[in-house]
Amino acid sequence: MKTRIISGLIMAPLLIVLYLGGWFLWAAALLIAIMGLQEFYKGWNNLDVHPSKEIGYIMTVLLFVTAIPYGGKESAVPQFYENMMVICIWMFLAVASGMIYGWKIDKRGTYDAAATVTGLVYIPFFTYHMVLIDMTEYSLFIWIVVIAAFGSDIFAYFTGFFLGKHKMAPNLSPKKTIEGAVGGLIGSSLLSWLFGFIFMREMAVVCLVLGLVGGAAGMAGDLTASMFKRKMGIKDYGTLIPGHGGIMDRFDSVIFVAPVVYYAICALTGILNI
């Protein structure tokens, strides 16, 4: 526990990136996407599966470059359908590139192509939604992403430690309990509401709901990362952060929460006519 707390304090300066937003957040998200993808691809080597790192890196940079014309917070808010057109084109290129990579069946297997595509959609694409959030007039919601992800994790850990009895997903994460999950959702909801009450009071209730839904998404992200690790036969994705493992071990929940918050913003602003 001591190591986890120390590591958490070391990561605290990352909050400065959220405060600055704009290109600082863009660069941080790009770094997380590239490093996370590298860890994810490396994990497949244990199963003799070899995704294309070259395709992964190129497509990741290409996706983030699409945000450059918007210039971060200083430019006009990009329209939802414009974002979707760019993303759809990128998605086609990413999937097609991964499939073409598998054409050399004498040297590669279908799993190599599948792992390449899965990594691109799972990590860079999900992470990119942090940039999309920052490009909207509701950029403060980027804090809800982090609060919901880390808040649910912290509250679930301590609730499970003191009250946990019933295992939630023993095959994926033996230490997680149903009691811990409930505590995590309550904690992330309350923290998100508190943030909204202080910084965007008219959206306090919305923040509470996003904290609840985001907390659930964060847990899903954590379990998804665990699923891959179990199949890969690894304990952690990396050793970059003491007590936490690699980038994916720490941000697996964040990249799951970001899309949920972004599409919620789209709905709230009427772009989806909801």
Please tell me the predicted confidence (pLDDT) of residue 244: 67
Domains of the chain: total? 1
The values of phi and psi at residue 86, to 5°, are -65, -45
Considering 59-73, 108-122, 126-140, the range whose residues carry the highest mean pLDDT is 108-122
| For the chain, percent of residues with pLDDT exceeding 70 | 87
Which domain covers residue 54, as residue numbers? Answer: 2-268
Kindly state whether residue 98 falls inside one of the protein's structural domains. yes
Rounded distance between C-alpha atoms, residue 141 and residue 262, angstroms? 8
Q: What is the pLDDT of residue 265?
A: 83
Query: What is the CB neighbour count within 10 angstroms for residue 163?
Result: 13
Mean pLDDT of 179-205: 96
Question: pTM of this prediction?
Answer: 0.90
Collapsed DSSP state (helix, strand, coil) of residue 252:
coil
Residue 202 confidence (pLDDT) above 70: yes
Residue type present at position 194: L
* Residue 203 resides in a domain: yes
Residue 231 lies in a domain: yes
| Among 243, 91, 217, CA closest to 150 | 217
Q: Position of tokens 């598998």?
A: 102
Specify if 234 maps to a domain: yes
Is the residue at 273 inside a domain? Answer: no
pLDDT given for residue 80 in this prediction: 58
The rounded Cα 32 to chain-centroid distance in angstroms is 9
For residue 149, being part of any structural domain is answered with: yes
pLDDT tens digits along 159-177: 999 998 999 999 999 889 9
Residue 11 has pLDDT above 80, yes or no: no
Looking at every residue in the chain, the average pLDDT score rounds to: 88
Handedness of CA 209, 266, 23, 67 (dihedral sign): positive
| pLDDT of the residue at 136 | 83
Mean pLDDT of 113-122: 97
- pLDDT tens per residue across span 66-116: 886 555 444 334 455 567 788 899 999 999 999 999 999 888 889 999 999
Q: Are 131 and 68 in contact (CB under 8 A)?
A: no
pLDDT reading at 43 higher than 70:
yes
Q: Is residue 274 part of a domain?
A: no
